[in-house]
Structure formats: structure tokens, C-alpha cells
Amino acid sequence: MDFERLADELAAHLAARPALELPPDGRATAAVLAPLFPDPALGLCTLLTVRTQTVRDHKGQVSFPGGVHEADDADLGATALRETEEELALPREAVRLVGRLNDTPVLTGYLIRPFVGLLRARPAVRPSPEEIELVLWPSLRALAAPGACRWRPVHVGDLTVDSWTFDVDGHMVWGATARMLVELLERLKPLL
């Protein structure tokens, strides 16, 4: 399938149900990018980052690239693209935004707006050593496979929360990122 047709199909599936937009209610606004790219053998794939232990928030957690909205950002889509470029040296011009997912509040006081972007192929990235420890490259088919997603308790410091979880190359994806993945897989199921 060519890039334009794939972009149109992704946009149509994501637009079929409007994404939930929540008011910030005192939370800091942030945005992430769920980058998708076609792989001839694996189908649609995405990338996830493992955050370093030196970042301020979400140390060592698996997430989509992204961060806090800044005054210079035209909108939250621009925030997602800027942060992805800063974290991975992935040029914003290489990403076509095709839709968004539900706004996602998190326990650390952020309201995250997830954007879905399409790339022509697996990107060459250069992770920022201050922010990103590792990049993971899961296929959506693998994430959607029976048993790949489980609901279970996750221990975070002194807190235990029930969360959807995925295992990606030995790294646990949970919390907001897992919720975003569940929604993404549900919306794109016909394309997988």
C-alpha cells in the first residue's frame, strides 16, 4: 500500500470516533507522538522509548516520545513533533500527523494529548542520552496478539495500581502508554 493511501486509511479509522478532549483542570498539558511506520515483513510498527533514570518524571518508564507544551508551540500537535525531534532527532517534517487518541490524565499531574503520526519507513533515530535509554520497535500485530495485553497490579514506589500491561522486549509498558496502545489497537484493528 502506498504512503498516501495508508495515511488516508489511518486518518479515516482514527476519525471514525472523535477523540475525547478533556479540560486541563490545573494539570500541565503535554503531548506525545505514537509514530507508525510500515514494515514489509511485520506490517504496521511503532516505536516506544525507555526513559533514563536521570529525567525529572517517569524515570525508567516506557513511553511514546513527547513532553510538556511550551509557549512557542503553535499547538499540542507541534509539541508532540518538537519533543520527538528533541528526544530522537526525528525531523518533524518526516512525520505526517493522521489523527489523535483520547486525552489521558496521569497520576503525576499531566494531561497528555496523544497524536498518531505516519512515517514512510522505520526511521533512523539518534536518542538523546539525557532523556532516552533505549528505543523499542514493536509491531502492532505483536501488540494485538492474544495474551499480549494483560490487566494486572503494577507496583510503583509505595503505590500499587491496576493497569493494562504489555511486555515489549522484556520491558513492561503500563499506565498511560498502555492505555494509549489499547486504544490505538482497538481503533486500527481492521488494518492489522
So what's the pLDDT on residue 52? 79
So what's the pLDDT on residue 56? 65
So what's the pLDDT on residue 61? 81
Low-confidence ranges of the chain (pLDDT < 70): 1, 53, 55-60
**Within a domain: 29:** yes
**Within a domain: 164:** no
Total structural domains within the chain: 1
Residues with Cβ < 8 Å from 44, sequence gap 6 or more? 36, 37, 38, 139, 140, 141, 188, 191, 192
So what's the pLDDT on residue 73? 97
pLDDT in tens, 7-17: 999 999 999 99
User: If you write DSSP's letter for every residue of 60-95 in order, what string do you get?
Assistant: T-EE-SEEE--TT-SSHHHHHHHHHHHHH---GGG-
**Within a domain: 119:** yes
CATH of residue 15:
3.90.79.10
Which of helix, strand or coil describes residue 169?
coil
So what's the pLDDT on residue 57? 59
